[in-house]
Amino acid sequence: MKTYSDKLKDPRWQKKRLEILQRDGWKCLGCDEDKKTLNVHHLRYIDDKEPWEYEDRYYMTLCDECHIMAHLEITTHSTRESFDIDHFVDFIEPVWIRKYVSDIEFHKGDTILTLRTGYDFEGIHLHNILKILGRLKKFIREDNEYSLFLRIGNGANDIVPIHDFIQESESYRKAFYK
């Protein structure tokens, strides 16, 4: 039986890999970089399929750094039956949400995102977090930012309405509402 590493040496995978790299313009879809080593990432793994047998929509080109982020664990909890958060995490926002968020909860009309430790809430980090939240807001079709929250610590008072972050500056508001 071949190992996964052996399967990635198969000519059928090499052909599929080149097709996806060309489709994506030979650049990372996570950071838009075209000067770094590129990988073809499987957005989801499907049992009983060989690496080259997936539909093209299940692949994306990523640099090494973004590929590592795409494999970070993220936990999702939802009491909304019809809401497929895993689709959002795997297909719409597969890289950056994993960099900044470790857990997403959907219940009673509220959405709570737990931020990973180690990020300040200034500059590029805050800007990227708000862009992610803007995409999430569109995905869940939620027009009320008062129902979106960030958990920034372990305490009961560490859940903050996203609205408070949006008020930070005009540029962040524009990023959130795009």
Calpha distance 42→158 (Å, rounded): 35
Q: Which of 67, 84, 68, 65 is nearest to 76 (CA)?
A: 84
165 and 80 in one domain?
Answer: yes
Residue 6 CB coordination number (10 Å): 10
Going by C-beta distance under 8 Å and a sequence separation of 6 or more, which residues neighbour residue 27? Answer: 33, 34, 38, 61
Both 82 and 45 in one domain: the answer is: no
The predicted pLDDT at position 17 comes to: 97
Residues 82 and 61 placed together within one structural domain of the fold? no
Given 70, 90, 123, the domain boundary residue is 70
Same structural domain, 16 and 84: no
Q: Are residues 151 and 93 in the same domain?
A: yes
Residues 81 and 153 in one domain: yes
- Domain end point (choices 16, 48, 70): 70
Range of the domain at 53: 4-70
State whether 60 and 84 are in the same domain. Answer: no
Are 166 and 101 members of one domain? yes
165 and 114 belong to one structural domain: yes
DSSP SS3 for 121: coil
Same domain (yes/no): 62, 85: no
Q: Domain count of the chain?
A: 2
Burial of 29-68, coded b for 16+ CB within 10 Å and e otherwise, reads bbeeeeeeebbbbeeeeeeeeebbebeeebbbbbbebbbe
pLDDT, residue 164, reads: 67
3-class SS of residue 92: helix
**Residue pLDDT tens, the chain, 178 long:** 889 899 999 999 999 999 999 999 999 998 889 999 999 999 888 889 999 999 999 999 999 999 998 888 888 877 766 667 777 777 777 887 888 888 888 776 777 888 887 766 566 666 777 777 777 777 766 555 557 777 777 766 677 777 665 665 455 455 545 5
Same domain, 86 and 170: yes
pLDDT at residue 169 in the model: 46
Q: How high is the pLDDT of residue 18?
A: 97
The pTM of the full predicted model, rounded to 2 decimals, is: 0.72
Same domain for 90 and 162?
yes
Domain stop point among 21, 39, 70: 70
pLDDT of 23 = 96
Check residue 28 and give its pLDDT.
92
